[in-house]
Structure 1
Amino acid sequence: MRVVPSVLESVTVHAEGALCTRAFVLSPEQGHLPDKVRIDGLPLALRTGSLRARVVEGPAGLLVRDLRPAFDVKLPSESDLPSEQHALEAAEAALSDVHGRLERVRMELESLQRLTPTFPPTRKGQPPREAPLSAMLSLAGFVDGELAALHAQRLDLERQQRDAASEVELRRRRVQELSSALSGDRARLFRAALLTLSGPLPATGAARLVLEYAVAGARWVPTYDLRLPRTLEEGTLRMRAAVLQRTGEDWTGVRLSVSTADLERRAEVPELKSLRIGRSQPPPPRSGWREPAPGLDELFAGYDALRSQEPPSPAKAQPVPQQAPRYEPQEVDESESDDSDGIAEAASYGGPPGRAPRPMA
């Protein structure tokens, strides 16, 4: 597949988005034009559904059979990252060395400051000893001299530590800036277009094709300039267009045009009326309700006649609800009832309240 360079010729900027036109030339090889062509370097903001290609100049029979979007990855040359990395590592090692020497000096200072003369305890019954003034003075002189030297060394090491920390910060910033540039340049992603042409065709001259595509990230804003003379009799109104774009392409020297139309407008296919031979008649008015067709009542006449001939189905007998049993009081002799009541009442005192029990004979 041959990779053909293309040139951005014109751009039409809409209210949202832009329509770009690229042109490329196909030169014949061994008297024939290629059947597959690849166009690289297209912006990443390209809308894949807007790719269009056509033949502007070329031999008869040259057509674009297929057009597909693809991706293109470019790997530029490596930058000088190892030298910056080595410089950063050397600065960090120097900082660590200075920090270690400064910590040792601080520890020696703390040890010297804790160095004081001590006296052995006096035993009971012995006279007090004389103070060793010469030894104490020599110790104080030694401590003062050492402290002065260590303080000067600490000041020098603190200055070296600040300088080393600044150098490390500078090297880190340079490495970060170089790494961010490498991350963008080491693998740059673009869009590409794969064209399938009707070929290979014999040709003696070059063919010129055009590729169109829409991109997002571009718009234009109108500005108006009205100039009036002091007499206010006439004026000049000029309109300017401020174009803004972040599509990833260089529009320097490209023919620009602006449009107020919507780039993503939707269009419906028009409904064509039928042509009939005869006298011209007005089109029938459209309405949401239509009268029923004639003979609608006779449409179900056979079904109604069949239903009328069927014998009526017998009605199911409903079950009769059973009556609840009735309890009637029985007639009992008064004497028997009195005796039985007396016996029952006399036999139990925990039953329901009743008459007093009879005395036993």
Structure 2
Amino acid sequence: MTAETAQRWGSALDAVVVYAQGALCRRLARGSVPPDGRVRVTGLPRSLDPGSLRARVTGARAARVVEARVEVEAEPLDDAGSNALRREVERLREEWTAAQGRRDRQLGLIEEVGALRPVPPARRREDPHRRTPVDAWLGLAEFVDERLTRLHARLVELEEALERAEHAFLLASDRLDRASTDAPPAQVRTTVSAVLTFDVSSGPTTAAEAETGTGTEAEAGAEVEAGAEVEVEVEVEYTVPGAVWAPAYRLGRRPGDGGGRLVLRASVAQRTGEDWTGVRIALATADLRRRTDLPRLRSMRIGRRQPSPAPSGWREPPTGLADLFAGYDGADTRTDPARAAAPGGSMAVGQGRPVAAGAPTGYGAPPSVPLPGSAYPEAFGGGSADLAAPPRSRPGPGGGARERTGGMPPAAPAAMASAPSGRAAAPPPPAPAAPGSAAPKRAAPAAGPPQPSGAELDYPALVLSGPDDQGARRGRLFPDAPHDPVAAEYRRRAEAVTALPLPGHAVPPRVSAGSFDHRFDAVARADIPSDGAWHTVTVGEIPVGLRTEYLCVPSVEQTVYGTLVLSHSTDQALLAGPVEVVVGDEFLLNAALPTLAPGGVCRVGLGPAEGIRVTRRTTVHESTSGLRNSTTVLDHRVHVELANRLAGQVTVEVRERVPVTSDADVRIEERADWSVPHDDADAEHHAPGARVWRVDLPAGGVTALDGGYEIRIPSAKALAGGNRRS
């Protein structure tokens, strides 16, 4: 049973977690596992990351997934497919081009007719002067004028037709650009599938369950007959690029109510190549591609040079690895002359450089040789990983070391083609040096154990080369994965959604989240097409405390502003983003909500309050005091009047400021009942010298606030002729 004949299961997208960039998708598929255990789950997008594919059984415990890989199929599309919009765009493009051609030809005719001029015959020297035929000139001018009139009238019609064709083409192109990328973009449909291999076992799946006998009826020892089909539900998980989101809010409040409703919404845009229809949406601020490898700190040694220990993940290549592919090579000897020249398949002929099968090649390999074409290597115990990677250099046949560059072994001489299997051929004699030329210097062999690079020891990223990879790559692990240019182009188009301009007052989640990561789960399923445009999704409702306060800074502007003091008491942070403020059933304004930690308090401005009036007057009196008038006294008086013309009681916060000095000889004495505002980690920070009055005004009430301060400056500290009153 091959992958092409494997049983096909349809899948449905169930849940999506949108990260700061990218998304984690989860599909569900259900069916009966065939006797061979090979199943193809269809419906995956083309832009998925093949290395992120995961699969697990969610229902029955008698089956488990032992292998999962991504395969792509291609098939031509029929005329009745989903390319109607694309064909419409092509048709309108042709009509626009044809209309433009007709307009250009009409312009050419107008230019030709307008260039008509009477040309008199050439006059010879002995010919007498002739009279000008005025009638002919006038007849030609009348003909040109009449012809140009008809041509210009036709030109106006063609230009109008061209404008209509261009307008229709631009509208269709815009619809195509905004259309979902879930439809195939070409005449060939590519189907991405996850080929899963199941292992159907019998009885409990773990040793603990076997000892305790716990579990359901299927887990308690119910035997699965050989060849019987098992009904399972499998969950396929993968990551895709091309998805972004930004938080948004809607704040509603009823007049006279002390609380409010803060609805958390999200602006989500995705161009992953599949429409998210009826999926459970979750939003996370984490980076989907952040590094997870731990830093390594190497020791510093003083004294004699000591060799570095060999990496524990490297192993010698197994002996006779090339003999594993002898049957594979022998099957193609009649069609491949190069393979027929190899004696018994004991040579690994690679890219014109034959290498003896038993000779050390400088590439690591697992001690147990994997089957050719296997997608995943065997797992080995012993405390250290046995998945070997190709080292930088290793000892050669003569005890020296051979350097390798570019991920391939050095070229072997042609004489090695006749060497017996399992032994390295003797190197050819060196070529004689040319007369007068210096003898080439032989590079010193690198001593010590092999030193694989970090990429060669990154086991999850290593790829096992199959039998089609000729040479020393067959059956060995390499860090260079095959590059799929088509999939890379799909991912590049998907990642273009990250360049979308953010909505007003929106902040990227990674910027507003800071050093912490948060996740928000939507309460209902949502539909988000793959069109690369912003779509609003309601996440949930957050209870908040609200109270209305009025704020004024009369020294800067004699206007009172209304504010909403929002207190957040849940255990989930609120990210920065735009908020729509609604009072009752009337929309008030759009504002920006800052990042709010659990238990934090912030202010949201509502604009000027025309029903509250404020007036500020100041006076300054200068005098001297002290012995021999050695101290200058600047007495500042502040008078603030407030008048409430609203229908209810209001709380007004009046902010003033006093000067701040860093000189111990200059003293500032305050004479007012204001207070010093307290800086809170979650609230706003106040400048040094800020002072606050908090006044409760009833409806129609008027109050006056008086304050002031004295500045005492010694005469030696005073600036002669300076402005000391401001």
TM-score normalised by L of structure 1: 0.52
Question: Does the CA-based 8 Å contact 1:2-1:34 persist in structure 2?
Answer: no
Q: 1:259 to 1:159 in 2, by over 3 A?
A: same
Structure 2 residue corresponding to 1:10, chosen from 15, 20, 23: 15
Q: 1:41 to 1:14 in 2, by over 3 A?
A: same
Shift in Å, 1:208: 1.7
Gaps of 5+ in 2: 1-5, 80-86, 178-182, 201-224, 300-726
Question: Which whole-Å CA distance do the structure 2 matches of 1:265 and 1:55 have between them?
Answer: 28
The equivalent residue for 1:24 is 29
Question: Does the CA-based 8 Å contact 1:13-1:218 persist in structure 2?
Answer: yes
Question: Which whole-Å CA distance do the structure 2 matches of 1:225 and 1:173 have between them?
Answer: 38
Shift in Å, 1:250: 1.6
Q: 1:208 to 1:240 in 2, by over 3 A?
A: same
The equivalent residue for 2:266 is 242
Question: Does the CA-based 8 Å contact 2:184-2:190 persist in structure 1?
Answer: no
Q: 1:201 to 1:262 in 2, by over 3 A?
A: farther
Query: Which residue identity is paired with 2:68?
Result: L
Question: What secondary structure does 1:46 align onto?
Answer: coil
The equivalent residue for 1:296 is none
Q: 1:73 to 1:222 in 2, by over 3 A?
A: same
Query: 1:35-60 deviations in whole A, cap 9, x for unaligned?
Result: 32223332344232321111123483
Query: 1:202-256 deviations in whole A, cap 9, x for unaligned?
Result: 4466432110112233344444566666667x42463514142312322231122
Query: Which residue identity is paired with 2:242?
Result: G
Question: Does the CA-based 8 Å contact 2:250-2:265 persist in structure 1?
Answer: no
Question: What secondary structure does 1:153 align onto?
Answer: helix
Q: 1:162 to 1:238 in 2, by over 3 A?
A: closer
Question: Which whole-Å CA distance do the structure 2 matches of 1:147 and 1:41 have between them?
Answer: 72
Question: What secondary structure does 2:58 align onto?
Answer: strand
Q: How does 1:70-219 map to 2 (within 5 A)?
A: 70-73=71-74, 75-78=76-79, 79=87, 94=102, 98=106, 101-102=109-110, 104-107=112-115, 109-110=116-117, 112=118, 114-115=119-120, 139-161=133-155, 163-164=157-158, 167=161, 184-187=185-188, 191-198=192-199, 202-203=227-228, 206-219=231-244
Query: Which residue identity is paired with 1:76?
Result: L
Question: What secondary structure does 2:278 align onto?
Answer: coil
The equivalent residue for 1:39 is 41
What is the number of residues matched between the two proteins?
Answer: 250
Shift in Å, 1:140: 1.5
Q: How does 1:323-338 map to 2 (within 5 A)?
A: none
Question: What secondary structure does 1:77 align onto?
Answer: coil
The structure richer in strand per residue is 2
Q: 1:33 to 1:215 in 2, by over 3 A?
A: same
Question: Which whole-Å CA distance do the structure 2 matches of 1:85 and 1:175 have between them?
Answer: 6
Query: 1:332-355 deviations in whole A, cap 9, x for unaligned?
Result: xxxxxxxxxxxxxxxxxxxxxxxx
Question: Does the CA-based 8 Å contact 1:224-1:239 persist in structure 2?
Answer: yes
Q: Tell me the C-alpha RMSD between the 2 structures.
A: 4.7
Gaps of 5+ in 1: 124-130, 270-287, 289-361
Question: Which whole-Å CA distance do the structure 2 matches of 1:83 and 1:227 have between them?
Answer: 50
TM-score normalised by L of structure 2: 0.28
Question: Does the CA-based 8 Å contact 2:14-2:28 persist in structure 1?
Answer: yes
Structure 2 residue corresponding to 1:51, chosen from 39, 48, 53: 53
Question: Which whole-Å CA distance do the structure 1 matches of 2:167 and 2:35 have between them?
Answer: 52
Question: Which whole-Å CA distance do the structure 1 matches of 2:256 and 2:125 have between them?
Answer: 113
Larger Rg: 1
Query: Which residue identity is paired with 1:17?
Result: G
Question: Which whole-Å CA distance do the structure 2 matches of 1:95 and 1:226 have between them?
Answer: 56
Q: 1:69 to 1:102 in 2, by over 3 A?
A: same
The structure richer in helix per residue is 1
Question: Which whole-Å CA distance do the structure 2 matches of 1:36 and 1:264 have between them?
Answer: 31
Question: What secondary structure does 2:276 align onto?
Answer: coil
Q: How does 1:282-293 map to 2 (within 5 A)?
A: none
Structure scoring higher RCO (CA < 8 A, sep ≥ 6) equals 1
Shift in Å, 1:4: 2.3
Query: 1:286-327 deviations in whole A, cap 9, x for unaligned?
Result: xx9xxxxxxxxxxxxxxxxxxxxxxxxxxxxxxxxxxxxxxx
Question: What secondary structure does 2:277 align onto?
Answer: coil
1:66 aligns with 2:67: yes
Question: Which whole-Å CA distance do the structure 2 matches of 1:95 and 1:159 have between them?
Answer: 12
Identity across the alignment (%): 27
Query: 1:8-58 deviations in whole A, cap 9, x for unaligned?
Result: 011223344332210112246xxx456322233323442323211111234
Question: Which whole-Å CA distance do the structure 2 matches of 1:102 and 1:265 have between them?
Answer: 65
Structure 1 residue corresponding to 2:282, chosen from 257, 263, 270: 257
Question: Which whole-Å CA distance do the structure 2 matches of 1:81 and 1:187 have between them?
Answer: 18
Question: Which whole-Å CA distance do the structure 2 matches of 1:49 and 1:265 have between them?
Answer: 15
